[in-house]
Structure 1
Amino acid sequence: MNQQVGTLLDAHPGEGPGGRVPRPRAEHPADRSPALARLGETLRILVIESDAHVGETLTRRLRRHGYETFSVATGEAALDEYRSADLVLLDPELPDLDGLEVCRAIRAASEVPIIAVSAVAGELDRVLGLQAGADDYVVEPYGFRELTARIEAVMRRARPAVRPTAQVITSGPLTIDPDLREVRLGGRRIDVTRKEFDLLHLLASRPEKVVSRKQLMAQVWEDSWSRPGRTIDTHVSSLRGKLGSADWIITVRGVGFRFGQA
């Protein structure tokens, strides 16, 4: 980690020494669920490594061990490519963007497993890497067998999160089907936009919890950096109108929203 880590953590989220860190691209055509690779499928690994020689060597060795591997050398390229990976190996020292912020940006929009690989071995650096969203932290120099063992261990933890089908949510007359992306009220289909569906489904999947505006921006709009303006309120108002009652979505002032029942 570089010496500017402390400053970055105290600064406005998403701002690095060179300015605003680009947020992950939404609606990438290669969007995949995290830990997509299953038994019999080849694990696809993205290597984010600033040193071209190191990145090429690591990529070549991973391929020899049966992994499908591709590499990039910058944070900007990483934010373009991570969605097509089943696992990310991240060098925190990148030439253009702060590696911690790249890690946070990926984690805010995806659950793809991330292993930080760094020559910096300090306890604080490892803690900051894990807090930024990395699933593991490997210190260079490392044994290649150790790295592959850590990859397998991280993937074992990630795979149970993958479900063949998503659960239909029912609350009184309201039914939300995430597979069909369909909302029905009393058996009647309610036409909702993509963002309206995502917002309603997120709230309904956590019926006992308040979801903050920041969480909604990160998970529905895939934007961890912008301040929540009127966008969320506009979508909430539209949903309440379509559902015929404000009681389906309860405003918790100063915090966010929670799912209710009309």
Structure 2
Amino acid sequence: MPVERIYVVDDEASIIEFVRIYLEKEGFQVKGFKDGKQAYSAIMADPPDLVVLDVMLPSMDGFEICKKIRSEENQVPIIMLTAKDEEIDKIVGLELGADDYLTKPFNPRELVARIKAVLRRVTLKRQTQEEIIHAGDITLDIKRREVKIKDDLIKLRTQEFELLRVLAEEPGRVFSRDQLLYLAWGYDFAGQTRTVDVHIAQLRRKIQAADVQIETVTGYGYKLVY
């Protein structure tokens, strides 16, 4: 199995070295960058398996790097390092396309856990890119991003599709709102779970002709049953 490569981008050499020690112990290959422009060029020329990206960098900050990477259709996983208690940094990073975030100062074990979680999610997504998912009389074509009830094509918005995909992959499993937020939207900070309820309500209306139902588990979340 090939060694997974991680780029660590931070203007503090001590943090790069600190992270390198922990990641190499876990079997990752690590390359560090202290300059934003150099990091961006390296990511675009030779994308790693994941980037740990600090916000505050010389020559090009982390937000700009993330924005430019995503504008080039480069889907390399990105974990942003944000300032402690700066909630807006987390939101901006996620809106620009980051996969996760971690606030400084951070526990290196938590960073390792988050890296592994993001890589697992990316691997699962790649494995299902060309799959067809069946749930009752609903069919999801992941590659074409199409949903049919029997032979009728149903128009779903992006996040409605992602919600249905998550639920349909494991019918009967109860997902909390936080889990759905993380799996369908890609982030996991508190205070945003109301959007899950809104999208579930919209999704229910659009699939009401199907023989599947999205059940509410009071006080917890939702599950797909048929």
- Relative to the length of structure 2, the TM-score reads 0.57
Q: Is the 8 A contact 1:48 1:89 kept in 2?
A: no
The alpha-carbon deviation at position 204 of structure 1 amounts to 0.6
Task: Answer yes or no: is 1:252 the counterpart of 2:217.
Answer: yes
Describe the shift of the 1:166–1:81 C-alpha distance in structure 2 as closer, same or farther (beyond 3 A).
farther
Matches within 5 A, 1:89-128: 97-98=83-84, 125-128=107-110
Q: Does the CA-based 8 Å contact 2:134-2:140 persist in structure 1? A: yes
> Does 1:78 pair with 2:74?
no
Which runs of 5 or more residues in structure 2 are unaligned?
Answer: 14-31
SS in 1 for 2:215: strand
Q: Does residue 212 of structure 1 match 2:202?
A: no
TM-score, normalising length from structure 1?
Answer: 0.50
Given that residues 204 and 259 in structure 1 are in contact (C-alpha distance below 8 angstroms), is that contact kept between their aligned partners in structure 2? yes
Q: 1:166 aligns with which of 124, 127, 130?
A: 130
- CA offsets, 1:49-97, max 9 Å, x none? 12389625xx69x96xx8469997635943553454636698x6xxx61
Larger Rg: 1
Matches within 5 A, 1:27-42: none
Provide the rounded CA distance (Å) in 1 between the counterparts of 2:217 and 2:79: 39
Q: Tell which has more relative contact order, 1 or 2 (C-alpha 8 A, sep 6+).
A: 1
Q: What amino acid is aligned across from residue 215 of structure 1 in structure 2?
A: Q
Q: Match of 2:34, SS?
A: helix
Q: Partners of 1:128 and 1:79 in 2: how far apart?
A: 22
Give SS of 1:175's match: strand
Q: 2:165 & 2:128 partners in 1: Cα distance?
A: 18
Letter in 2 for 1:86: V
**Aligned Cα root-mean-square deviation (Å):** 4.9
| Matched AA of 1:130 | V
Residue by residue over 1:133-168, the C-alpha shift from the partner in whole angstroms, topping out at 9 and shown as x without a partner, is 134xxxxxxxxxxxxxxxxxxx9x898653383311
Change in Cα spacing, 1:251 to 1:46, as seen in structure 2 (3 Å) is same
CA distance in 1, matches of 2:75, 2:5: 5
- Paired with 2:77 and 2:200, the residues of 1 have a C-alpha distance of 35
Alignment of 1:148-159 (within 5 A): none
Deviations 1:228-251 (CA, angstroms, capped at 9, x unpaired) = 22x323322222222225952111
Give me the whole-angstrom Cα distance separating, in 1, the residues matched to 2:156 and 2:144. 12
- Between the two proteins, the alignment pairs up a number of residues equal to 182
| CA deviations over 1:28-67 (Å, ceiling 9, x no partner) | xxxxxxxxxx9xxxx99754212389625xx69x96xx84
Q: Look up the equivalent residue of 1:134 and give its one-letter code.
A: I
What letter matches 1:97 in structure 2? A
What is the SS of the residue equivalent to 2:127?
Answer: coil
Identity of aligned residues (%): 22
